[in-house]
Amino acid sequence: MPQPESERTHQSVARPVRLLEVDPELAQALSGERLARAVHEIRARMIVLAPGRWSEPAWTLGVRRGAGLLILEGLMLRRVGFGAELLAAGDLLRPWQREDAAASLPRRAGWRVLERSRVAVLDVGFLMRAAAYPEVTGELLARAPRRSRALAVNMAIVHQPKVEVRLHMLLWHLADRWGTVTAAGVSLPLRLTHAVLADLVAARRPTVSAAVGVLERAGAIERAREGWLLHGAPPAELSAVAPPAAEGS
């Protein structure tokens, strides 16, 4: 069924960007003259996405043999069945890659842009420009296991029986990546609605709203202007499902 125009995301093509200026982590293995050349040479087309439902557009046909789409800024949600995955700057996407298309249990998948997002198009042309700098390609490849680890933790979280525990664990899990320690607590600058949180913890929205109330009354979390403020220590259950990154993929 076609999506109503008001719910679809609108997209526009922006000027090419020097990728290593926008995402300097990709250049962390380069230095000196090679770094300066790479910054100048490695450019990518950029697409700007407005909030709303996102369906894979026709222009991705020319990207499928490349590396994918790299989020430079913004926030996106990927739904798969009853689960969901939160994606942001630094995450590499290949929305056309559907290994589960012929699965015995069909899965409903969909994308939503939660905040205005900028996405770099890493097509074959990009890979040719980056070929002289394999360190950059290596950093891109490292994004895949990082995303897999985060998704594995998400899956473990949703198996917790109490929704308030799931929610508390999820917010601290997100804070490991996006949080900042402040004098008032750990600031998590993600404006996540109760509906989005419900998707992420595999629960109903009213149940999540009640769980938010439980955690607020306990002083564990607090709503802030830019997102959430977390107080105290992470829940003990989280350490049991989130092994340190040093243990490998």
Compute the distance between CA of residue 174 and CA of residue 242 in angstroms, rounded to an integer.
12
Q: 247 pLDDT band (50/70/90 cuts)?
A: very low
Query: Tens digit of pLDDT for each residue in 136-162?
Result: 999 999 888 888 888 888 888 998 999
CA dihedral of 53, 127, 97, 11, whole degrees rounded to 10: 10
Q: 62 pLDDT band (50/70/90 cuts)?
A: low
Architecture of domain 161-247: Orthogonal Bundle (1.10)
Considering Cα of 34, then 38, then 39, then 40, what sign does the dihedral take?
positive
pTM of the model: 0.82
* Every domain of the chain and the residues it spans: 11-156, 161-247
Do 201 and 158 meet the contact criterion of CB atoms below 8 Å apart? Answer: yes
Eight-state DSSP code of residue 67: -
Architecture of domain 11-156: Sandwich (2.60)
